[in-house]
Amino acid sequence: MSATAPFGRRLAAAMAAHGPLCVGIDPHPALLHRWGLADDVTGLRTFGLRTLDALGGRVAALKPQSAFYERHGSAGIAVLEELLAAARETGTLTVLDVKRGDVGSTMLGYADAYLRDGSPLAADAVTLSPYLGLGSLGPAIEAALGSGRGVFVLALTSNPEGAGVQHARDAAGHAVAAQVVDGARALNAPQAAAGEPLGSVGLVVGATVGAAARELGIDLASVRGPLLAPGVGAQGAGPRELAEVFAGAERSVLASTSRAVLAAGPDAPALRAAASAVADEARVALGL
């Protein structure tokens, strides 16, 4: 499928072909050690390219965590650029986990870095933080939609501290998370009206948030965009949690895991087997 097709359409096709699984490429020092690699740029590069070699073209998406590359300075960023370029060659969608959120020209700078054709750090989608106001993300969302890319906006995250902000209500009783969801729904409306299977403005909804969406009056299915669901595997979410959190929105879910797959490495067949098992478990849990 053309890279200029809307991100939501490309992601829906990838999920149909490979299952609803996104594998994070998170080179924690402990994982590097487990793979017999040094916690340096050489180990970082080997880790990412081995993961891509094993899983490229076999999962719906790969999600490099920018922080683990940034900690190695400019040489680490160069490794991230190489990984993103190599992923493009395999046709595998990438979600760059950067959680950027800023205002004005600064947000435009982030958009230029991660969502512009020709940028060495360009990915198919990025994660964004809306807590300076969803409107502040406008330059990134505009850049994404204009280039066939996507965004995943933090809505209901699985960290305990998140609830203090995301569950807070305004004077009218609307939760902050519900306002983020409403904004994503509105942004996806044109693509939904055009018959796209998924919009290109997705949300990050932790697979461990339990009944939070229902308790806050949030209809996740109405977003008509992809729902990136971190927390599967090592963070405690399994089939029961996926079914509970995403009831009614199952076909929009992109389950995300890192350690549950990467811990099987560095052997490529073992990585593939682990990814296949998690994808199959997600399919069953979501009734797909």
34-64: pLDDT as tens digits: 999 999 999 999 999 999 999 999 999 999 9
What pLDDT is stored for residue 285 in this prediction? 86
Range of the domain at 105: 7-273
| Confidence tier at 233 by pLDDT (50, 70, 90) | low
Whether the per-residue pLDDT at 113 is higher than 80: the answer is yes
Residue-wise pLDDT tens digits, 131-149: 999 999 999 999 999 999 9
Q: pTM of whole model > 0.85?
A: yes
Q: With respect to residue 284, please indicate whether it lies within any of the assigned structural domains.
A: no
CB-hemisphere CA count at 13 Å for 258?
Answer: 17
What mean pLDDT, rounded, does the chain reach? 94
Do residues 245 and 229 lie in contact, with contact meaning Cβ atoms separated by under 8 Å?
A: yes
Q: With respect to residue 12, please indicate whether it lies within any of the assigned structural domains.
A: yes
Specify the number of domains making up the chain: 1
Q: With respect to residue 14, please indicate whether it lies within any of the assigned structural domains.
A: yes
**Overall average pLDDT of the 158-168 stretch:** 92
Whether the per-residue pLDDT at 235 is higher than 70: the answer is no
What pLDDT is stored for residue 234 in this prediction? 55
What pLDDT is stored for residue 176 in this prediction? 96
Q: With respect to residue 281, please indicate whether it lies within any of the assigned structural domains.
A: no
Whether the per-residue pLDDT at 251 is higher than 70: the answer is yes
Q: With respect to residue 197, please indicate whether it lies within any of the assigned structural domains.
A: yes
Q: With respect to residue 53, please indicate whether it lies within any of the assigned structural domains.
A: yes
Whether the per-residue pLDDT at 287 is higher than 90: the answer is no
Whether the per-residue pLDDT at 158 is higher than 90: the answer is no
Give the CATH number, domain containing residue 72. Answer: 3.20.20.70
**Overall average pLDDT of the 86-108 stretch:** 97
Asked about 99 being catalytic, the answer comes back as yes
Whether the per-residue pLDDT at 288 is higher than 90: the answer is no
Contacts of 1 (CB under 8 A, 6+ apart): 9, 10, 13
What pLDDT is stored for residue 183 in this prediction? 97
| Catalytic residue from among 28, 34, 99, 259 | 99
Q: With respect to residue 233, please indicate whether it lies within any of the assigned structural domains.
A: yes
Whether the per-residue pLDDT at 106 is higher than 80: the answer is yes
Share of the chain above pLDDT 70, in %: 97
Q: With respect to residue 2, please indicate whether it lies within any of the assigned structural domains.
A: no
